[in-house]
């Protein structure tokens, strides 16, 4: 870092000047050292990688960064580099349109896992799209680069004073206050002295310089009543030092990893984030305290962090404006009345550029998710297990990177979400403590969860499956000491607990974590809430970005959000039900067993069915339901196998069992409603061996 400029050139030292008073006190200076959120000298930076996925591909392929490149996912574009943006390309154009607009565009498809593969790989975009049903997107290559960038930043900043928060796959916040404080004392040793009369509320002397060198920074214009002729105060000096640090960090990232990024530097996270998007690519924007009002008043408030979604819409509707400038004259009381006390005060402050939220260096991964939407839906346990295998491989490799093998952290639970039409079901199981987590062990647990879904019936066709692990714990000693004696008991308990749990649990929606501003109630958990137009500030939270059109989302296996963040999922609107299938509740028109039996009989009369007699339970059912019935037994066997002590044979009525004369709503209703497990070999032997064998792929 260049600590000589710009102050060394100043001919005046604080002691030789007539005493001039700063707006800031010795107390403020000492709170800067502690990085106190309320300190008026606080300095925060936000760094955001330019066209991140596109840069990852350019760097990986060793391409010339001035050539237009876009990252393709199926037939859409998810990242477009700046040379390609010059051709008017954005995320809304299709690959075909993009190539028309920019014939030399390099389109690189994201890496995918292919059904049955043990590792993701890159392939041609057309091939990937042709095989969309058997492939799933992998964001591993981008996560890897993200980790390297984060590590570079952490290595570069002094370990003892750094505060780095990973905000998403390509964004970080830095609280530079403590480091800036140290540099200020070095450059201005007079600041080290005790305050006059030992009174910390005494003002500091003014900085000994009248002009600051902002190098190549984009400097936001000052507020109307401020002038560049006014001498800088310590907040300007602090922010200038922070901007030097950020420039050095960006240079380091470029020199080491060849990535460019943009940054915003200001007094808080909200302003820093707006700043990093202000001038892209490869630039940094400084918003001095004296420029905040000017900077913000030009903004639509819907661009501000946390105001991009439902809350923003409500405010627009309530006050009939979307500009900060028009909200400013509104008294706080009116905000409180319209929006609740907490939200009203929060809004009042935020449009004035006040945001005390802290940079949180401990943003650890809370959960990991791997998901796939099936178009067309899948119909067999075989196929579902192949996907589970991929999900497990995907999650396991991330667990390894998270230090699970070294017992640094480990997840406590595994969850499986299953969607059929509009209905989503979730199952969860504790991950047995006391022994190391292995890929095989995870696969077994995942299968046990799937087995529960199958046992419940109506597992097929399945439109979406996702597997996640969560509840991470720090420093768990998996197989040490007394724990190892308890393995069996704990494992047994865990597996016992693997019995079906509450069905009513909705799928984990994209949870938005917000600061403690009492506005959480506005951040709903439905997909609906996260639909915003893309581009510009994503304004949702520090942790995830959730904008994408439903159409885009439907083409995604796993959302583009950094799905290591908490609670993410590929959620689907209920309208997403397979249009070719009736909703499950309508599959059999009648609720009454008698009516169901009657309908079955009528149908039987119209169209004689081949009957299958199960060699294991002697149930008779239509041949078309044989596969599902076998899956049911397989699932139950699996469950029994994994449950210690062994349990009595299951009492549950297998799905698709032909209803008795009295009829059963469940059995009777489901027979006709299914019949989609076709195309499977009919001469299968019974028992778990069959299923187990089929699981080898
Ligand atoms: N992303 C995605 N789908 C979206 C938005 C983003 O897959 N709808 C992915 C691709 C991006 C990455 O997330 O490269 C980071 O998102 P950004 O919004 O930061 O966009 P970029 O980094 O691509 O561009 P910018 O230079 O505007 O930050
Ligand atoms: Ca970015």
Atom of ligand 1 nearest to the CA of 556: 7
- Compare 13 and 533 and report the one with higher pLDDT: 13
pLDDT at 196: 87
Instruction: Tell me the pLDDT band of 625, cut-offs 50, 70 and 90.
Output: low
Q: Which residues pair with 168 in a beta bridge?
A: 171
- Region 530-542: mean pLDDT is 23
Distance CA 129, CA 568 (A): 25
Q: Taking a C-beta distance cutoff of 8 angstroms, is the pair 454, 381 a contact? A: yes
pLDDT at 244: 95
HSE of 372, CA atoms in CB hemisphere, 13 A: 28
Q: Taking a C-beta distance cutoff of 8 angstroms, is the pair 671, 600 a contact? A: yes
- Compare 644 and 217 and report the one with higher pLDDT: 217
pLDDT at 547: 31
Q: Which of 52, 173, 264, 549 to mutate to test the pocket of ligand 1 (most atoms within 8 A of CB)?
A: 52
Ligand 1, atom 24, lies closest to the CA of 51
Ligand 1, atom 18, lies closest to the CA of 535
Percentage above 70 pLDDT, the chain: 65
Ligand 1, atom 13, lies closest to the CA of 560
- Compare 651 and 73 and report the one with higher pLDDT: 73
- Compare 435 and 19 and report the one with higher pLDDT: 435
Q: Is 306 left (phi over 0), alpha (psi -120 to 50) or beta?
A: left
Instruction: Tell me the pLDDT band of 177, cut-offs 50, 70 and 90.
Output: very high
Q: Which ligand is nearest to the CA of 57?
A: 1
pLDDT at 616: 75
pLDDT at 640: 64
Q: Which ligand is nearest to the CA of 551?
A: 1
Q: Which of 50, 170, 264 to mutate to test the pocket of ligand 1 (most atoms within 8 A of CB)?
A: 170
pLDDT at 210: 66
Atom of ligand 1 nearest to the CA of 280: 26
Q: Which residues pair with 47 in a beta bridge?
A: 172, 263
What's the 77 CA to ligand 1 centre distance in angstroms?
A: 10
Strands 284-286 and 218-219: parallel
Distance CA 450, CA 452 (A): 5
Distance CA 399, CA 438 (A): 10
List, in order, residues 6 or more apart from 463 with CB less than 8 Å away. Answer: 373, 374, 375, 377, 419, 420, 421, 572, 576, 577, 578
What's the 488 CA to ligand 1 centre distance in angstroms?
A: 46
φ, ψ dihedrals at 351, nearest 5°: -75, -10
What's the 273 CA to ligand 1 centre distance in angstroms?
A: 14
Q: Taking a C-beta distance cutoff of 8 angstroms, is the pair 630, 684 a contact? A: yes
Percentage above 90 pLDDT, the chain: 51
pTM score, whole prediction = 0.68
| DSSP helix/strand/coil, 453 | helix
338-347, 457-466, 542-551: which has the minimum mean pLDDT?
Answer: 542-551
Burial class of residue 32, CB neighbours in 10 A (0-12, 13-18, 19+): buried
Q: Taking a C-beta distance cutoff of 8 angstroms, is the pair 147, 257 a contact? A: no
Quick one: tokens of 75?
Answer: 């037939």
Quick one: tokens of 254?
Answer: 């470029």
List, in order, residues 6 or more apart from 601 with CB less than 8 Å away. Answer: none
What's the 171 CA to ligand 1 centre distance in angstroms?
A: 10
pLDDT at 402: 84
What DSSP state is assigned to residue 617? T
Atom of ligand 1 nearest to the CA of 534: 8
pLDDT at 535: 24
pLDDT at 308: 86
The string of DSSP letters for 18-77 reads PP-EEEEEHHHHHHHHHT-TT-TT--EEEEEETTHHHHHHHHHHT--TTS-EEEEETTEE
Q: Which residue has the tokens 């309530």?
A: 318
Give the tens place of pLDDT for each residue, 32-63: 999 899 999 999 999 999 999 999 999 999 99
Q: Which ligand is nearest to the CA of 279?
A: 1
Instruction: Tell me the pLDDT band of 669, cut-offs 50, 70 and 90.
Output: very low
- Compare 202 and 555 and report the one with higher pLDDT: 202
pLDDT at 623: 60
Ligand 1, atom 15, lies closest to the CA of 52
Of the candidates 636, 685, 335, 301, the one whose C-alpha atom is nearest the C-alpha of residue 499 is 636
Distance CA 633, CA 647 (A): 15
Quick one: tokens of 154?
Answer: 């952490």
pLDDT at 147: 92
Q: Taking a C-beta distance cutoff of 8 angstroms, is the pair 448, 487 a contact? A: no
pLDDT at 674: 34
Ligand 1 pocket at CB < 6 A? 48-53, 78-79, 91, 170, 280-281, 534, 545, 547-548, 560
What's the 167 CA to ligand 2 centre distance in angstroms?
A: 11
Atom of ligand 1 nearest to the CA of 548: 8
Give the tens place of pLDDT for each residue, 213-238: 787 677 788 877 777 767 789 999 99
Q: Taking a C-beta distance cutoff of 8 angstroms, is the pair 272, 265 a contact? A: yes
- Region 588-597: mean pLDDT is 32
Distance CA 678, CA 604 (A): 18
- Region 428-432: mean pLDDT is 94
The string of DSSP letters for 637-680 reads HHHHHHSSSPPPPP-SPPTTPPP-SS--HHHHHHHHH-----SS
The string of DSSP letters for 506-525 reads PPPP------SSS-GGGS-S
Atom of ligand 1 nearest to the CA of 552: 8
What's the 430 CA to ligand 1 centre distance in angstroms?
A: 35
Alpha helices in 340-403 (DSSP H): 341-350, 381-401
Q: Taking a C-beta distance cutoff of 8 angstroms, is the pair 665, 591 a contact? A: yes
What is the rounded average pLDDT for all residues in the chain?
A: 73
What's the 470 CA to ligand 2 centre distance in angstroms?
A: 27
Of the candidates 78, 102, 108, 76, the one whose C-alpha atom is nearest the C-alpha of residue 88 is 102
Q: Which ligand is nearest to the CA of 79?
A: 1
What's the 276 CA to ligand 1 centre distance in angstroms?
A: 14
What's the 176 CA to ligand 1 centre distance in angstroms?
A: 25
Of the candidates 618, 619, 617, 608, the one whose C-alpha atom is nearest the C-alpha of residue 670 is 619
Q: Dihedral angle at the C-alpha atoms of 676, 680, 684, 686, nearest 10 degrees? A: -30
pLDDT at 614: 74
Ligand 1, atom 16, lies closest to the CA of 52
Give the tens place of pLDDT for each residue, 322-379: 999 999 999 999 999 999 999 999 999 999 999 999 999 876 788 999 999 998 899 9
What's the 565 CA to ligand 2 centre distance in angstroms?
A: 17
Q: Which residue has the tokens 């409500």?
A: 314
Give the tens place of pLDDT for each residue, 554-586: 344 443 433 333 223 222 222 222 222 222 222
- Compare 684 and 168 and report the one with higher pLDDT: 168
pLDDT at 580: 25
φ, ψ dihedrals at 217, nearest 5°: -65, 145
pLDDT at 325: 93
- Region 538-546: mean pLDDT is 24
Q: How many CB atoms lie within 10 A of CB 579?
A: 8
What's the 401 CA to ligand 2 centre distance in angstroms?
A: 23
Q: Which of 50, 53, 171, 531 to mutate to test the pocket of ligand 1 (most atoms within 8 A of CB)?
A: 53
Q: Taking a C-beta distance cutoff of 8 angstroms, is the pair 44, 162 a contact? A: no
What DSSP state is assigned to residue 9? G
Within 214-351, strands assigned E span 218-219, 261-266, 284-286
What's the 37 CA to ligand 1 centre distance in angstroms?
A: 29
Q: Which of 91, 560, 568 to mutate to test the pocket of ligand 1 (most atoms within 8 A of CB)?
A: 560
What are the Cα distances from residue 289, in Å, to 23, 31, 35, 227, 293? 12, 17, 17, 13, 8
Of the candidates 77, 143, 125, the one whose C-alpha atom is nearest the C-alpha of residue 399 is 143
Q: Which of 91, 275, 545, 552 to mutate to test the pocket of ligand 1 (most atoms within 8 A of CB)?
A: 545
pLDDT at 417: 96
Q: Which residues pair with 554 in a beta bridge?
A: none
Of the candidates 520, 45, 526, 538, the one whose C-alpha atom is nearest the C-alpha of residue 249 is 45
pLDDT above 90: residue 268: yes
């Amino acid at each position: 870092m260049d600590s000589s400029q710009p102050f060394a050139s100043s001919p005046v030292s604080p002691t030789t000047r007539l005493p001039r008073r700063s707006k800031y006190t010795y107390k403020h200076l000492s709170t800067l050292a502690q990085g106190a959120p309320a300190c008026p000298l606080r300095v925060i930076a936000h760094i955001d990688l330019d066209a991140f996925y596109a840069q990852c591909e350019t760097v990986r392929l060793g391409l010339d960064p001035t050539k237009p490149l876009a990252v393709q996912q199926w037939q859409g574009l998810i990242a477009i580099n700046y040379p390609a943006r010059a051709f008017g390309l954005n995320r809304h154009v299709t690959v075909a349109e993009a190539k028309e607009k920019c014939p030399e565009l390099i389109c690189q498809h994201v890496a995918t896992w292919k059904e049955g593969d043990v590792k993701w790989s890159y392939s041609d975009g057309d091939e990937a799209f042709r095989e969309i049903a058997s492939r799933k997107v992998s964001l591993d290559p981008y996560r890897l680069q993200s980790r390297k960038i984060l590590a570079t930043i952490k290595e570069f900043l002094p370990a003892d004073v750094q505060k780095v928060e990973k905000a998403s796959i390509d964004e970080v916040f830095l609280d530079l206050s403590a480091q800036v404080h140290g540099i200020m004392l070095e450059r201005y040793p007079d600041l080290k002295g005790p305050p006059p009369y030992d009174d910390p509320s005494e003002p500091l002397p003014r900085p000994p310089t009248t002009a600051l060198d902002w190098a190549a920074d984009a400097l936001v214009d000052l507020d109307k009543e401020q002038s560049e002729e006014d001498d800088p105060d310590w907040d300007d000096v602090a922010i200038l030092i922070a901007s030097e640090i950020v420039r050095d960090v960006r240079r380091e990232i470029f020199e080491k990893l060849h990535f460019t990024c943009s940054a915003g530097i200001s007094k808080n996270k909200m302003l820093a984030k707006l700043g990093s998007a202000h001038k892209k690519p490869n630039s940094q924007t400084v918003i001095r305290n004296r420029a905040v009002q000017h900077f913000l008043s030009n903004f639509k408030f819907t661009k501000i962090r946390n105001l991009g979604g439902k809350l923003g819409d409500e405010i627009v509707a309530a006050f009939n404006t979307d500009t900060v400038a028009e909200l400013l004259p509104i008294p706080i009381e009116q905000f409180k009345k319209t929006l609740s006390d907490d939200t009203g005060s929060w809004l009042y402050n935020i449009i004035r550029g006040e945001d005390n939220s802290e940079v949180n260096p401990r943003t650890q991964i809370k959960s990991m998710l791997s998901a796939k939407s099936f178009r067309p839906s899948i119909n067999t346990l075989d196929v579902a297990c192949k996907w589970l295998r991929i999900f497990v491989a995907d999650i396991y490799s991330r667990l390894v990177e998270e230090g699970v093998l070294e017992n640094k952290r480990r997840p406590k639970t595994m969850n499986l979400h299953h969607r059929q039409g509009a209905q989503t079901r979730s199952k969860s199981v504790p991950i047995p403590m006391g022994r190391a987590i292995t890929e095989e062990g995870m696969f077994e647990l995942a299968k046990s969860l799937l087995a529960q879904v199958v046992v419940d019936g109506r597992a097929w066709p399945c439109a979406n499956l996702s597997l996640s692990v969560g509840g991470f714990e720090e420093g768990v000693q998996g197989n040490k000491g007394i724990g190892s004696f308890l393995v069996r008991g704990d494992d047994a308990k865990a597996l016992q607990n693997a019995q079906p749990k509450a069905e009513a649990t909705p799928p984990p929606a994209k949870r938005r974590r917000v600061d403690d501003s009492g506005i959480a109630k506005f951040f709903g958990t439905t997909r609906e809430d996260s639909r915003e137009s893309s581009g510009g500030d994503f304004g949702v939270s520090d942790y995830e970005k959730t904008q994408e059109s439903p159409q885009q989302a439907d083409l995604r296996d796993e959302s583009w959000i950094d799905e290591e963040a908490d609670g993410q999922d590929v959620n689907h609107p209920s309208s997403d039900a397979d249009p070719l299938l009736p909703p499950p509740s309508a599959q059999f028109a009648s609720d009454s067993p008698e009516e169901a039996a009657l309908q079955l009989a009528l149908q039987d009369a119209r169209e004689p069915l081949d009957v299958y007699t199960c060699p294991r339970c002697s149930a008779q059912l239509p041949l078309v339901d044989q596969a599902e019935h076998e899956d049911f037994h397989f699932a139950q066997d699996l469950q029994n196998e994994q449950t210690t002590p062994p349990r009595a044979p299951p009492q549950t009525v297998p799905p698709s069992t032909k209803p008795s004369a009295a009829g059963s709503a469940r059995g009777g209703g489901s027979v006709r409603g299914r019949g989609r497990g076709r195309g499977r070999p009919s001469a299968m032997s019974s028992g778990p061996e069959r299923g187990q064998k089929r699981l080898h792929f």
